[in-house]
């Protein structure tokens, strides 16, 4: 749609002349319930009043709105013709005065894609639930506004909704709901503090609510009282463990008040778990929204609870980094997301029972960053974001986890107290304002005394990941005569960076344990850095050049260390060091330096001894990827059988009723392929087979059934029976995925048509259908869709919402047709579509790079 993709230059020009004083927004969502209008899409009434100033009276500008229709537009008391000023995405504003009032009355569409105001009908009880999701620019689907982060203002919301609903927004309600004419109730909310449009929020529906409160003593004898609420759909209430969520919430609030010395600024603190959510969560001040999969319907491992706690703390960090102080434009998205990613692990380790947070960070979050930083779309942490489509794609592993890893390196570089003091000054100096890179560097320079411009140039303003490799020379007595850390980069002109690292030396003990006996911190710079402090130490069996994970790098090994790991990786006693070793050998596998089957051999020999459940589940995920993408095709079947046998062995050996047993059960189901494997899964489903301590709850039942349907060992009748057993929204999604996973040409054609030729499925069902369609064991069935993919992606991008378009472009790329011909077809499309939307080309380029990497890894594995 013309005007929908706001550019950075347009935003800068608008911000140069406009400042917003207030918004009054009224939404009438009573139309969400009751019969749908015959053949028409449901709409809701949205009225907006905006008071704003213009620094250049007589100038022209525009407001943003995506609506089905506009009833009226009034500017400074003058009625404007909607047909003349509204083009579907923008309202033209001509002849502005110094002080202006814009009034817009519109009919907006409910969303089924998770963008704007999403409407969900619970199949279990028929209740309707609403929530908003805007980042980066979808509040314009709900009310007229100036949709850019640097035009902050106070918002006052009024929502008219069906009687009996819970209705929430960023701020607390003013008094009790008032009866509305023609039925329902109207809730008026207190004005917010100045915030950006993308973090405003409305949640409405018959939500279940749990309540608590947080009290904090402030300096001067005052007390800060924060009401706490946790919400979910009524049909999920029996699964909601609100006490655990409240506990982490209070621990986080304590930590951030201690660390930031700036009281929580947004009054109440609600957390709503909502259906069909596209993200993990969203940091709307006063009302954080989460995907409802964090309300666990069945047994999950400790890693799942740890992950949820991390997300709770991530969003809480945003109350300061992002909401109180907001980036000026999406170039500096890292100013909120990198800090939230880092502070989530930081606070989790120091304030909660999840002390393994840095292990998870090293093993999972940084793996995401390493992948993103080696794609052709890699970018600096401080990115070049020309428009909103580019902004949407930059919510990636670089902005989140590389940025967080860089901040961890920064703390090692400047010191913990200097870092936190910089944050305190930053909040006090820029509260309710907008900032850019220079504003943060300024306070960091003040508190640390360091040259932050040089550090920023190396870490924030250039792309790519460095590799650090130890070079060890020992004398005849078996002592180190020299140890050097070699640094390399990637590309024709690699950028070498300064790294603060810990180099650890490890030795095998008499009992077989691999333990650290020496450690030294040094500053690595340039291609080679000597480590004189370790000269004279006994010859190590293993050298870790990024021990304790202080920096962001790919850690490599000398030959002796790699030999040690091949026989003793599981003997490393320190869990963080072991996680770093696992991460490093996975990077070697992805880089086609270690055969995939050698990696799988390590997993089969040592994963059963892994104590950290989060690391174990990462190993399962990576082993599955290695088997699907990196093993040579001719060896794939045999390798799969070996992995399945190993998974079953570990499942039977795992402690009954423990998290490791559950993890191995899920992994076994994912790799099971033989007749005996499938017979066991069927027996576990119907109760004719048992594994001591393994509780086959509803979620695990779907995991087993998904494996059976993908292998053709179960069909529509079994799926329907399970759907009847689990008549819920989750059950519906599982059933849709299973139906699309059946090994049938007719099934694949139906799934393709439902996603590509129709736009009726919700975002959650699009995701489920794509997941079922793309089965690794069904390459022949999906091969006919490789050419059609390239024929439809531009149309999909042009006609679907960006969230759905991204899911289709990524999810249906023919990555399972892993042969050179697919690479050639991708290159041909890219060459013929140089003028395609840059964001679309980026997605195709990224998928092409993953495919090329897979082919290189398969070639490496074939040499085994």
**Consecutive H or E run containing 385:** none
- Indicate the DSSP class of residue 63: E
| Pairing mode of beta strands 185-188, 116-121 | unpaired
Reading the block at residue 122, the tokens are 């619970």
Compute the distance between CA of residue 391 and CA of residue 330 in angstroms, rounded to an integer: 6
Coil vs helix vs strand at 287: strand
- Cβ(153)–Cβ(22) below 8 Å: yes
Cα–Cα distance measured from residue 401 to residue 386, given in angstroms and rounded to the nearest whole number: 22
- Residue that is written with structure tokens 């690479």 in the block: 823
Q: 735 Cβ partners below 8 Å, 6+ apart?
A: 719, 720, 722, 723
How does strand 326-327 pair with strand 434-435?
parallel
CA dist 241 and 294 (Å) reads 10
Structural element, H or E, at residue 537: none
Q: Which of left, alpha, beta for 490 (phi over 0: left; psi -120 to 50: alpha)?
A: beta
Return the SS3 of 109.
strand
Secondary structure letter of residue 629 according to DSSP: I
> How many other CB atoms are there within 10 angstroms of residue 495's CB atom?
16
Active-site residue 446, yes or no?
no
Q: Give the three-state DSSP class for 745.
A: helix
Write down the H helix ranges in 552-635.
559-568, 575-590, 596-606, 613-625
Interatomic CA distance for residues 605 and 597, integer angstroms: 12
| Token pair recorded at residue 783 | 């091969």
368/12 Cα distance (integer angstroms): 32
The rounded distance, in Å, linking the Cα atoms of 171 and 188 is 10
At residue 439's C-alpha, the angle toward residues 420 and 171, to 5°, is: 75
What are the backbone angles phi and psi of residue 431, rounded to the nearest 5°? -55, 130
Distance in angstroms (rounded) separating the CA atoms of residues 534 and 727:
63
Distances (CA, A) of 400 to 339, 382, 539, 552, 616: 8, 11, 38, 13, 23
- Residue 654 vs residues 625, 650, 669: alpha-carbon distances, Å: 23, 6, 15
Instruction: Report how far residue 689's alpha carbon sits from residue 679's, in angstroms, rounded to the nearest whole number.
Output: 9
Nearest to 209 by CA among 190, 228, 188, 184: 228
Run of H or E including 594: none
Spell out the residues 6+ positions from residue 325 whose beta carbon is closer than 8 angstroms to its own: 335, 426, 427, 430, 431, 432, 433, 434, 435
The strands making up 269-274's β-sheet, listed across from edge to edge, are 208-217, 223-232, 269-274, 287-291, 281-282
Token pair listed for 177: 């709901």
Tell me how far the alpha carbon of residue 640 is from its chain's centroid. Answer: 29
Q: What share of the chain is helix, strand, coil (3-state, %, to 5)?
A: 45, 20, 30
The SS3 assignment for 38 reads coil
Handedness of CA 624, 628, 629, 635 (dihedral sign): positive
What's the farthest any 2 CA atoms get from each other in the chain? Answer: 93
Q: Crossing angle for the helix pair 613-625 and 659-671, nearest 10 degrees? A: 10
> Pick the catalytic residue: 115, 276, 283, 315?
315
* Cβ(257)–Cβ(263) below 8 Å: yes
Residue with tokens 């506004």: 145
Which positions are catalytic? 315
């Amino acid at each position: 749609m013309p005007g929908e993709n706001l550019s950075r230059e347009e935003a800068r020009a608008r911000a140069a002349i406009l400042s917003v004083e207030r918004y009054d927004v009224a939404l009438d969502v009573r139309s969400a319930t009751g019969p749908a209008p015959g053949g028409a899409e449901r709409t809701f009434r949205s009225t907006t009043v905006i008071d704003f100033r213009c620094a250049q009276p007589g100038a022209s500008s525009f407001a943003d709105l995506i609506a089905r229709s506009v009833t009226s537009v009034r500017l400074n008391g003058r009625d404007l013709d909607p047909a003349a000023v509204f083009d579907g995405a923008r309202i033209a504003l001509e002849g502005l005065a110094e002080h202006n009032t814009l009034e817009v009355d519109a009919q907006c569409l409910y969303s089924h894609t998770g963008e704007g105001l999403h409407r969900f009908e619970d199949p279990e009880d028929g209740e309707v639930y609403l929530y908003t999701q805007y980042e980066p620019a979808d509040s314009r689907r709900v009310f007229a506004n100036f949709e850019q982060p640097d035009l902050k203002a106070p918002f006052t919301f009024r929502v008219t909704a069906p009687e009996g609903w819970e209705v929430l927004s960023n701020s607390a309600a003013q008094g009790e709901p008032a009866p509305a004419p023609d039925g329902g109730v109207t809730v008026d909310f207190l004005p917010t503090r100045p915030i950006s449009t993308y973090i405003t929020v409305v949640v409405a529906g018959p939500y279940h609510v749990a309540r608590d409160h947080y009290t904090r003593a402030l300096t001067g004898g005052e007390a800060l009282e924060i009401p706490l609420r946790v919400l979910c759909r009524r049909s999920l209430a029996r699964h909601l463990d609100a006490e655990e969520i409240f506990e982490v919430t209070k621990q986080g609030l304590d930590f951030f008040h201690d660390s930031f010395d700036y009281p929580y600024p947004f009054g109440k603190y609600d957390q709503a778990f909502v259906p069909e959510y596209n993200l993990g969560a969203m940091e709307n001040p006063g009302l954080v929204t989460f995907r409802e999969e964090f309300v666990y319907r069945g047994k999950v491992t400790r890693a799942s609870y740890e992950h949820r706690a991390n997300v709770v703390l991530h969003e809480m960090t945003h109350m300061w980094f992002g909401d109180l102080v907001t980036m000026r434009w999406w170039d500096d998205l890292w100013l909120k997301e990198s800090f939230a990613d880092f502070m989530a692990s930081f606070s989790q380790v120091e304030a909660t029972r999840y002390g393994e947070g840095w292990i998870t960070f090293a093993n999972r979050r940084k793996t995401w960053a390493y992948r993103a930083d080696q794609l052709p779309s890699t970018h600096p942490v401080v990115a070049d974001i020309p428009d909103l489509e580019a902004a949407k794609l930059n919510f990636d592993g670089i902005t989140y986890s590389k940025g967080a890893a860089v901040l961890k390196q920064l703390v090692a570089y400047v010191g913990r107290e200097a870092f936190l003091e910089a944050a305190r000054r930053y909040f006090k100096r820029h509260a309710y304002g907008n900032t850019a890179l220079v504003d943060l560097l300024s306070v960091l320079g003040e508190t640390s005394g360091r040259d932050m411009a040089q550090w920023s140039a190396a870490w924030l303003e250039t792309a790519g990941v460095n590799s650090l490799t130890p070079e060890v020379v020992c004398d005849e007595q078996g002592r180190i005569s020299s140890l050097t850390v070699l640094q390399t980069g990637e590309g024709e002109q690699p950028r070498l960076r300064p790294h603060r690292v810990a180099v650890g030396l490890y030795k095998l003990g008499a009992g077989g344990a691999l333990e650290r006996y020496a450690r030294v911190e040094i500053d690595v710079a340039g291609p080679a850095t000597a480590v004189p402090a370790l000269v004279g130490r006994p010859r190590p069996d293993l050298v870790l050049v990024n021990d304790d994970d202080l920096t962001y790098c790919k850690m490599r090994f000398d030959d002796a260390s790699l030999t040690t790991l091949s026989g003793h990786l599981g003997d490393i006693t320190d869990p963080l060091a072991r996680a770093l070793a696992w991460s490093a050998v996975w990077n070697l596998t992805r880089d086609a330096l270690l055969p995939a089957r050698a990696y799988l051999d390590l997993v089969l020999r040592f994963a059963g001894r892994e104590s950290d459940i989060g690391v174990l589940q990462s190993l399962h995920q990576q082993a599955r990827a290695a088997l699907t993408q990196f093993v040579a095709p001719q060896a794939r079947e045999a390798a799969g059988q070996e992995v399945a046998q190993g998974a079953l062995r570990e499942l039977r050996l795992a402690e009954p009723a423990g998290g490791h047993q559950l993890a191995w059960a899920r992994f076994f189901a994912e790799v099971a392929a033989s007749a005996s494997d499938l017979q066991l899964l069927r027996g576990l489903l119907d109760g004719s087979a048992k594994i001591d301590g393994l509780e086959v709850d509803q979620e695990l039942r779907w995991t087993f059934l998904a494996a059976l349907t993908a292998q053709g060992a179960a069909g529509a009748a079994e799926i329907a029976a399970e759907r009847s057993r689990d008549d819920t929204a989750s059950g519906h999604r599982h059933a849709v995925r299973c139906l699309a996973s059946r090994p049938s040409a007719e099934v694949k054609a139906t799934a393709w048509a439902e996603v590509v030729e129709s736009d009726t499925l919700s975002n959650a069902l699009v995701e489920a259908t794509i997941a079922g369609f793309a089965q690794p064991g069904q390459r022949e069935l999906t091969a006919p869709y490789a050419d059609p993919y390239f024929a439809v992606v531009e149309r999909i991008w042009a006609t679907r919402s960006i969230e759905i378009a991204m899911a289709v472009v990524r999810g249906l790329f023919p990555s399972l047709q892993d042969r050179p011909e697919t690479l050639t077809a991708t290159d041909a499309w890219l060459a013929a579509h140089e003028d395609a939307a840059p964001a679309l080309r980026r997605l195709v380029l990224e998928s092409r790079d993953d495919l090329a990497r897979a082919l290189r890894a398969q070639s490496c594995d074939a040499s085994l």
